[in-house]
Amino acid sequence: MINPFNRFYDTEIAVYEQGENSYDKKGEKTLLGNVICDIQPYSDDTESKIYGLDESRSYKLYCDKTDLMKNGRSVFFGGAWYMIVKTEIWSFGMTVVIRGVENEC
């Protein structure tokens, strides 16, 4: 099935998985791969209350279906870190809600 929306995919993001944390240090992030997607600001008040999102640092991504996008993984783009908080698969692709994470490196 051809995705008519993929012409809007203009941003490449990097997807990471966090390693195990130990008592003295945070687990290292491992690059899993890159995904091309469309990124839109996300400000749905109802969803924000349900998922505890800060509207100013929340985005909704639209991309082709991929196993890289899973809840709890980290995303890096635009010089900032985000956490995947919700994924939803559609017939043409998927949507992913991400929330900004402070003090990530």
Nearest Cα residue to 90 out of 1, 12, 17, 11: 1
CA distance 72 to 83: 6
Does the residue 81 lie in any domain?
yes
Q: What pLDDT digit, counting tens, does each position of 65-101 carry?
A: 999 999 999 999 989 999 999 999 988 889 999 998 8
Does the residue 64 lie in any domain?
yes
Q: What pLDDT digit, counting tens, does each position of 15-25 carry?
A: 999 877 666 66
Non-local CB neighbours of 23 within 8 Å, separated by 6+ positions: none
Write out the residue range of the structural domain in which residue 77 sits.
6-100
The answer to whether the Cα torsion of 52, 54, 55, 59 is positive or negative is negative
Q: How many domains does the chain have?
A: 1
CA distance 20 to 30: 11
Does the residue 1 lie in any domain?
no
Q: What is the CATH number of the domain that holds 65?
A: 2.40.10.270
Nearest Cα residue to 48 out of 40, 57, 35: 57
Structure pTM? Answer: 0.77
